[in-house]
Amino acid sequence: MKTAIATVSISGDLKEKLAAIAAAGFDGVEIFENDFLAFDASPREVGQMVRDHGLEISLFQPFRDFEGMPEPQRTRAFERAERKFDLMGELGTDLVLICSNVSPISLGGIDRAADDLRELGERAKPRGIRIGYEALAWGRHVSDHRDAWEVVRRADHPNVGLILDSFHTLARKIDPETIRSIPGDRIFFVQLADAPRIDMDLLYWSRHFRNMPGEGDLDVTGFMRAVAATGYDGVISLEIFNDQFRGGSAKPISVDGHRSLVYLMDQVRRSEPGIRIDVPDMPDRIPVSGVEFVEFAASEADAADLGAVLNTLGFARAGRHVSKKVDLWRQGDIHIVINTEQSGFAHSSYITHGTNVCDIGLKVADAKATVGRAKALGAEPFEQPVGPGELQIPAIRGLGGGVMHFIDDKSDLARVWDIEFRPVAEDAQPRGAGLLRVDHVAETMAYDEMLTWLLFYTSIFQTRKTPMVDVVDPAGLVRSQAVENGDGSLRITLNGAENRKTLAGHFIEENFGSAVQHLAFETADIFATSGALAANGFRPLTISPNYYDDLDARLGLDTEFLDRLKATGILYDRDEQGGEYFQLYSPFYGEGFFFEIVERRGGYQGYGATNAQFRIAAQKRHLRAKGMPRSRHTGPDLP
Ligand code: MG
Ligand code: MG
């Protein structure tokens, strides 16, 4: 499998783009004419530069408004094409993309278009140039790959073939299965792009909102399965027009792009039996059965504070590491680890971010296989020297500077708490509060990194993404989207902050990019838990009475029930199927980190999105009341 990416997909000047593309592992690039029009080098030098990076120019594009023109435009179009052929010779590439004509003066007619392409094929042949014809979704007369194929079929010239682009097919809801009847050797090139489902003008949607396969809502896998069934074994290339990507950083976006292709082809191989696809062998997406542990990096002083908070939440200190300054806190199936070592990964994480969640341990079906799959998808394995009595727990570097460890039942890993920790008895044990397990881990990142995180989790683990919801913070929007597995035992919410004035943005800013902003624990009885917490000295976040008025207006609640919610500071939500959700929040710990306690009844699957704005308002009031230092950074402060 040869992979390529169009240079327009990423930001930077041509040199920066090529370096990022080569480093991410691509074989080639699609060169857009604009790339070197703006770049101060001759086509020959650009070609050399590409090859110096170990890349090939897989395609030159685009050549527009060619077929079906009346005279004199027709003659001029052929002359224009000849000049592009010269340029391609200089660049060192043999394939040009001709996209279907959008000109209002073009005449239409399948045979007229086929005749023009055949004649161009004749002119291209002595130069060794091949012509690929692509149907633009908004083409004047040809806007469907089936018609483009008919044009190519009738052109009947060895130098004229078809170019398929998943966006143009899927955006127009054309059944990709229709590709299966096209001979694979007549397909010269395949471009891939996904996109979020948005109802808008096709051209605008295409030019601004495309994203990597797997990042959007289109069935790119189904499209690629059909392509693979034709026997096509040429280049698959990303052609992604996305404003965020063009304004982002070339390196991570190239890495995402390569990951998306490997992930896609792995899925295609698994779902299209009998197809040989040359993609690295790797285990299938990994089933996860929950969060096994959450590790904080902290100073000794912060660790004492954090321990006090955990105490009020009903956690007991259950163990001390055999050789390290690492404590285990436990309640139900929740394991919280507090690491105060003066060396190693946790320490460097503390130095960078302050007290923060530096490590998440997931319970998986097979820990080694998880690292194997993650590596095949370009993730970095993580290892540090193990001390005496310690297990080598398979791990990778996550995003946002954190680490992820994997525990399974196949080996000693399942007994890590017994093997690596000695029980402690001296502490006064708090009254447990009925917390059972981690319901969700909430991670915060800059909005333009959200797709990276989504792709990371969904490509490695057997998870799916939920639709994106907007959370209204008085200082700006925060986009929220969850990654979940089938039975809800793994839930990670991703919160993309557009600016640092929002609570989420403030958190990233003050913690230097740290990711986990809150941990939500599940209880089976929120009111009992609330009582136990109160007895432990826990004071929940104070929620405005207005919230309860609004809630009553929206849902028409029983007065006694409403009063009970109000008295305990519990937030409430109900879905259309009658599922119920209860949420109780802790005040802030440090710079915007907090805990949440939830109860789900009747199969409620969401996260209380409608409550988020009230929670945020309450937290901002709390932040002001605490007299938190104004942001160290410039710009308007939190309102
Ligand atoms: Mg295209
Ligand atoms: Mg939450």
Which helix (DSSP H) or strand (DSSP E) does residue 454 occupy? helix 450-460
237 alpha carbon, closest ligand: 1
Amino acid letter, 487: D
Q: Which pLDDT value is given to residue 512?
A: 73
Peptide bond into 423 cis (omega under 30): no
Cβ atoms of 68 and 108 within 8 Å: the answer is yes
Give the distance (Å) from ligand 2 centre to CA of residue 91. 53
Cα 272 to ligand 1 centroid, rounded to whole Å? 24
Interacting residues of 506 by C-beta distance below 8 A, sequence separation 6+: 500, 591, 592, 631, 638
Residue 160: strand, helix, or coil: strand
Ligand nearest to the CA of 167: 1
472 C-alpha to ligand 2 centroid (Å): 14
Is residue 4 within 8 A of residue 24, CB to CB? The reply is: no
Phi-psi domain of 74 (left: phi exceeds 0; alpha: psi -120 through 50; beta: other): alpha
Strands (E), 356-408: 356-364, 395-397, 403-407
Instruction: List per-block mean pLDDT (blocks of 10 residues) for the chain, which spans 639 residues.
Output: 93 92 97 81 93 97 95 97 96 97 97 98 98 97 98 98 98 97 98 93 92 95 96 96 88 95 95 82 96 96 94 94 94 96 92 92 96 96 87 92 94 89 77 95 92 96 92 84 96 89 81 85 98 94 94 94 96 96 91 92 95 90 66 33
pLDDT value at position 470? 86
Residues having C-beta closer than 5 Å to ion ligand 2: 520, 596
pLDDT score, position 506: 81
- 390 burial type by CB count under 10 A (0-12 exposed, 13-18 middle, 19+ buried): middle
Q: In 174-286, which ranges are continuous DSSP H helix?
A: 202-209, 220-229, 243-247, 250-271
Where are the extended beta strands (E) located within 408-434? 421-423
- Cα(165) to centroid(ligand 1), Å: 5
The bound ligand whose nearest atom lies closest to the alpha carbon of 138 is 1
Asked if residues 350 and 356 have their Cβ atoms less than 8 Å apart, the reply is yes
In whole angstroms, what is the distance from residue 600 CA to residue 607 CA? 10
534: CB partners within 8 A, 6+ apart: none
What pLDDT was estimated at residue 629?
A: 45
Q: What is the pLDDT of residue 427?
A: 63
476, 447 contact by CB (below 8 A): no
> What's the pLDDT at 630?
41
Distance 438 CA to ligand 2 centre (A): 11
305 SS3 class? helix
**Per the confidence metrics, is the pTM higher than 0.75?**
yes
Give the pLDDT of residue 627: 61
Ligand 2 geometric centre to CA of 284 (Å) = 29
pLDDT tens, position by position, 444-471: 998 889 999 999 999 999 999 998 888 8
List Cβ neighbours of 426 (8 Å cut-off, separation of 6 or more): none
Nearest listed ligand to the Cα of residue 9 = 1
C-alpha of residue 518 to centroid of ligand 2, in Å: 7
The model's pLDDT over 378-398, given as tens digits with 9 standing for 90+, comes to 999 999 888 877 899 999 999
553-561: Cβ within 8 A, 24+ apart: 554/610
Q: Which ligand is nearest to the CA of 61?
A: 1
The span from the CA of 218 to the CA of 195, in Å, is: 6
